[in-house]
Amino acid sequence: MNAARDEMYARFWGVRGSIPVSDSRCARYGGNTSCVEVRCGESVLVFDAGTGLRPLGSALVGEGCRDVDLFLSHGHIDHVVGLPFFAFAYEPGNSLRVWSGHRAPESGATESGVRSLMSAPLLPITPDVFPAEVSFRDFSAGDELAPPCGVSIRTAPLRHPGGATGYRVEHAGCSICYVTDTEHDPEAPDENILALVAGADIMIYDAMFTDEDLPRHRGWGHSTWEEGARLCLAAGVRTYAIFHHAPERDDEALDRIGAAAGRMFPGSVVAREGMVLTP
């Protein structure tokens, strides 16, 4: 890899929530589910293993990447379904560390979740099929992580059925936050999220719903693009990436959200597959 030592960026490989979509009306923003690559110099961090992990894996193999840390926000199917199709894990000599904190401190929770996915009757293979060296790392949401790649990562618990984890990556004086899936309280901002994203260069946030349609989806564990903008204004975030788009939200609807978000918080962008954001 030829990345500069201090280079940092986020690349979006999957931006959709709940289920992938294949529809010409969603082609500009993309239909793969959650997967974001964060580069910190030569370190490769991946956040969530939705269907976007499949094309990312092919790109990493083509690049000759040998070491990856994969951080799961939680274990729901749209965030892990790409893992059995991750080409990087099928390359002998590669090293993959899979992290999660939504079920910790239960020992072995990360591995047991992956094995539940990769087992009959859902799939005919188990994680043992991977020739790469795959290890599983459990933590509790709220812990500070020190992966072998040397990047500093803070975490926070999110409000989602079964639990979820938000992440803040810091490198060379810059910061990128990944915050999905979470349901906010309309009466007050989530203090855990405010503390996590305070002063961040980039916040990637769960904008599955709008304030108008959220009351019909109480308990689903998702937030709104408006709440993301409010958090950014309160926390001093520089760039807000609207993420985890509802499967029925087509390109024109996302264009309208992007325009409205830009008026509410000028640093807003609507995440799309292939987009690269730098702090």
C-alpha separations of 219 from 103, 162, 182, 212 in Å: 19, 11, 10, 15
Average pLDDT rounded to a whole number, residues 219-242 = 97
Q: How far apart are CA 188 and CA 206, in angstroms?
A: 17
Over 60: is that where the pLDDT of 224 sits?
A: yes
Instruction: Give the H/E segment covering residue 240.
Output: strand 239-243
Question: Which pLDDT belongs to residue 196?
Answer: 98
Over 80: is that where the pLDDT of 3 sits?
A: no
Among the residue ranges 8-22, 66-80, 97-111, 175-189, the one predicted with the least confidence is: 97-111
Question: Which pLDDT belongs to residue 148?
Answer: 82
How high does pLDDT run on average in the chain? 95
Per 3-state DSSP, what percentage of the chain is helix, strand, and coil (rounded to 5)? Answer: 25, 30, 45
Q: How far apart are CA 100 and CA 97, in angstroms?
A: 10
- The percent of residues in the chain predicted with pLDDT above 90, rounded, is 91
Question: Which pLDDT belongs to residue 210?
Answer: 96
DSSP classification of residue 32 = P
Over 80: is that where the pLDDT of 216 sits?
A: yes
Collapsing DSSP states into helix, strand and coil, what is residue 171?
strand
Average pLDDT rounded to a whole number, residues 63-87 = 97
pLDDT band at residue 6 under the 50/70/90 scheme:
confident
Q: Which of 53, 18, 12 is nearest to 221 (CA)?
A: 18
Q: How far apart are CA 167 and CA 244, in angstroms?
A: 15
Question: Which pLDDT belongs to residue 1?
Answer: 41
> Any idea what the Cα angle at residue 177 is, between residues 271 and 35, rounded to 5°?
50
Among the residue ranges 100-109, 175-184, 195-204, 251-260, the one predicted with the least confidence is: 100-109
Domains of the chain listed by start with CATH number: 8-272 (3.60.15.10)
Question: Which pLDDT belongs to residue 149?
Answer: 78
- What phi, psi does 180 have (nearest 5°)? -160, 145
Chain-centroid distance of CA 77 in Å reads 13
Q: Which of 7, 70, 9 is nearest to 278 (CA)?
A: 9
pLDDT band at residue 147 under the 50/70/90 scheme:
confident
Question: Which pLDDT belongs to residue 107?
Answer: 74
